[in-house]
Amino acid sequence: MDTNLKIALITVFCALSGIITFATVAIVFS
């Protein structure tokens, strides 16, 4: 697999995980 593609996928996955985590925390503590 291309290194740049792997880095891009990891970045997107981390970003989505962060957004989901933030949304969950916001809902729980709202």
- Look at residue 3 in the predicted model and tell me its pLDDT: 94
Domain locations in the chain? 1-30
CA distance 3 to 14: 17
Q: Looking at this protein, which amino acid is placed at residue 30? A: S
Q: Is the pTM of this model over 0.85?
A: no
- Look at residue 9 in the predicted model and tell me its pLDDT: 97
What is the residue-level pLDDT of the chain in tens, covering all 30 positions? Answer: 689 999 999 999 999 999 999 999 999 998
The DSSP 8-state label assigned to residue 29 in this structure reads T
CA distance 10 to 18: 12
